Every structure is written in C-alpha cells, then in structure tokens.
Structure 1
C-alpha cells in the first residue's frame, strides 16, 4: 500500500511547475504501447491499459485533488474507452497469432473507402455530439478539442485493432489538437508526450505502409471487416 500511496502522491517539481509522476509514467506506458503497436506485438495492448489507468486518475484532477484542479473529461473518458477497445484489440491480435499468422498478429492493410468514410463521419459527428455534453459536465475549454481527442483516440485504437494503416493518421489529427489543449490546461508532461507521439505516429504510418507493400494482398475481404456495428 505504501508503494501505491507514493505513486499517487509523488510529484516532480520543475521551477514553478508541478508534474505528477503518475502523468509521466502513464505517458511512458503509452509510448511503449505505441512502440509495440508499430512492431505489431500483442503485448502493446496490456501495457497501454496500465498507462490508461494511471492517466485516468491524472485527468480527473478536480476529483482526485491533483495540482491541476480541472477535469479534462475527454482525456479521462478516453482512458476508459481505451481499456475497453484495448481488450478487444488484444484478444483479436492473440487470436490471429494462434491462427498461424507468420507475419505478426495483424497484417497492415488499407481501409476500404466505405470504412474511411465511416472514420471521417464518426470523427466529425462524434465531436459535434459530445462537445455540448462535455461542456455541460464542466470540461475544460475549448471543449470541442477535448471531444475531438476523445473521439479520435477511440477511432485510432479501433483502427489499430482492425489493422488499418490509416489509424496512424487519425493519431496525428489527435496530437495536433491535443498539444495546445494540454498546454493551456497545465498538463505539460502530457503535452510534451503528444509532441513525441506526433513524430512517432508519422513514423509508424510509414513503417506499416512498408510492411503492407511487402505483404501479399488478401484473396478475399476479411470477414466482418466493415465496421458499421
């Protein structure tokens, strides 16, 4: 229990800024998960879940009494959604590995045009729907940014589980909005990690693209590949 209390309360003070070690560790877990995702390793999912749990307590600052007494509901809520989607992705990748895939648990591929349209509509429509909800719940302004990050994070994680190479580009869109929002809210460690993520996700896109070009195309569409459900 002493370790848990230390982890919950430990702070890093840089000048006049206070950064929770939970925020640093949660983002490091996230970076490790992204690295595992780039290499198409199934362990990326449980590592990411560990980071999600830590970051949830960070972004509910007003609830947990952290040095940042604001709630970023989109940031906190996406940690919960990450856990749910990550369980799905973990099971999917492990199942693919057991089925005898010799190129990793997932084979990168382009989403269909219909699936791409789904991503765009869900991104824009989901942001528009959640913005007034987050505002009513007291999320930090600009609330649309928080909603954009939440929706984009869920879609990117789902795209990773499905093996769509485009999911990296969704992450880029999330990072571009996330950096200024987190800086404005005082979450400097997370803002810095978003800058790192931005460069990392671009690299990940090209890594998956190269793997995809070396991999023979599937003879037929994957069962259930259309994500309308």
Structure 2
C-alpha cells in the first residue's frame, strides 16, 4: 500500500462519519500551525506547509478541486511566508513578529481580490463541473484562504477575521462532502481565531505603524 493510498484510507468511524487518515493528520497539523501563528512562531509556516501537502491528497481524492488547489496555495504561501518572516528586518524587542492593522487601502484591496477571485474561480468550476462538486463554496474557501494567508504573511491583524469568514463556509462544505474531521477542526479553528485576533489586536496597539512589518519569530 502506497503512502497516498494509506492517507486516504479510513482511520475509524465516529457517529456514522468516516474519518480518513489524511483528513485527521493534515487538519491536526493545521490546528498546530494556527496556534503557532497566534504565538507568532516561525514554525507556523513549515507546519502549514506539511498540513497543506497532506490535505491535498485528501481533497484531490474527493474531487474537490478548489479545496485541493487551496492546499497547493497553502504550500506555496507557507513557503513565501516563512521567507517573509525569516528575512523581515523590522522586529519587536523580543524578536517576534511585529503585527499591525491593515490600512483602508489594503483592506479594500483584500476585499476586492477576494470578490473578484471568487467570481473567477467559481466561474471556472461552474464551466468545468468535473473540477468541483460544489463550485461556489469551494471557490470561496480557496480564494479566502489565499487572502487570509497573504494577510498573515504581512503581519496584518485582519488575517484572523479572514479566517473566520472562510470557516463560515468551510465547516458545512467539509461535512457535506464527507470530511467530518475537517468540519470539526474548522469549529476549533474558530475558537482559536477569536483568541488569536484578540492577542494580535493587543499587540498591534503597542506597535508603531512604521515598524509593523514582517519580523523573524522565535
């Protein structure tokens, strides 16, 4: 049995829901990565990269191209974010990431990119239904994840709120397509996101806007 076949095999069943190894391991790693992101640890990026690689195998097997493509983006953005945080010149005194609120222009750009991206990807999935069984929610989750991870790499507090908006659609989408563990973890993500948003908000109040750039985390 290959590693990919094993990852997409059933681990166990809970209340009638089949839990796959890839779904469980990938989302557990993603949960750890989110917690590390809250702590502004640079380890959030390699763990996110690993999570994305594992979850790609799960969603590709389930014919959810948007969710699978999202994981490709997770891997690429995780590598980029890792580089951003490592090379960042602006650091807090404790050597961790300096965080800030986005400007209104940046917020507008993020919202515009999310809206146009969702329309473009959703239209593609609608035109080619073999790519996704749920084209519009799948496109929304895909694009929303890209926007959220970009904001995270830039140290923007808004990235937490972007994740909440992604989870609002990601939870029912995961359960509807047989990824029960993903759905459960998305709910836990929601709690961590609220906690992380509050923590970053508090830290942003002590960060001067001119120095709120990427930094190297411990």
TM-score (norm 2): 0.89
Counterpart position of 1:93: 85
SS in 1 for 2:31: helix
**Larger deviation, residues 40-49 vs 139-148:** 139-148
CA deviation vs aligned residue, 1:173-204 (integer Å, no higher than 9, x gap): 00001111111111111011111111211111
CA 1:200–1:8 in 2, change beyond 3 Å: closer, same or farther?
A: same
Alignment of 1:75-90 (within 5 A): 75-90=67-82
Q: Which residue of 1 aligns with 2:12?
A: 12
SS at match of 2:13: strand
CA distance in 1, matches of 2:149, 2:105: 18
Cα distance in 1 for residues equivalent to 2:17 and 2:46 = 31
Structure 1 equivalent of residue 118 of structure 2: 127
Residues 210 and 221 of structure 1, relative CA distance in 2, 3 Å threshold:
closer
TM-aligned CA distance change 1:221 to 1:192, over 3 Å: closer
CA gap 1:6/1:104 in 2 versus in 1, 3 angstroms = same
Alpha-carbon deviation of 1:11?
A: 1.9
When residues 222 and 34 of structure 1 are mapped into structure 2, their CA distance, relative to the original with a 3 A threshold, is closer
2:130 match: secondary structure: coil
CA contact (8 A) 1:108 1:211 kept: yes
SS of corresponding position for 1:109? coil
Task: Go from structure 1 to structure 2 and tell me whether the alpha carbon gap of 1:105 and 1:93 turns closer, same or farther (over 3 Å shift).
Answer: farther
Does residue 98 of structure 2 align to residue 107 of structure 1? yes
Unaligned residue ranges in structure 2 (runs of 5+): none
Q: CA deviation at 1:218?
A: 3.8
CA contact (8 A) 1:38 1:207 kept: yes
Q: Partners in 2 of 1:49 and 1:35 — Cα distance?
A: 14
Q: What do the CA deviations read for 1:192-219 (whole angstroms, capped 9, x no partner)?
A: 111111121111111100111133x144
Cα distance in 1 for partners of 2:173, 2:212 equals 39
- For the aligned residue pairs, the C-alpha RMSD in angstroms reads 2.3
Higher RCO structure, 1 or 2 (CA under 8 Å, sep 6+): 2
Name the counterpart of 1:177: 169
**Which residue of structure 1 aligns with residue 60 of structure 2?**
60
TM normalised by structure 1 equals: 0.85
Please state if 1:205 is matched with 2:197: yes
Task: Provide the rounded CA distance (Å) in 2 between the counterparts of 1:181 and 1:105.
Answer: 35
Residues 194, 222 of structure 1: CA spacing in aligned structure 2 closer, same or farther, 3 A cutoff?
Answer: closer
Q: Does the CA contact (< 8 Å) of 1:40 and 1:104 recur in 2?
A: no
The whole-number CA distance in structure 2 between the counterparts of 1:197 and 1:130 is: 24
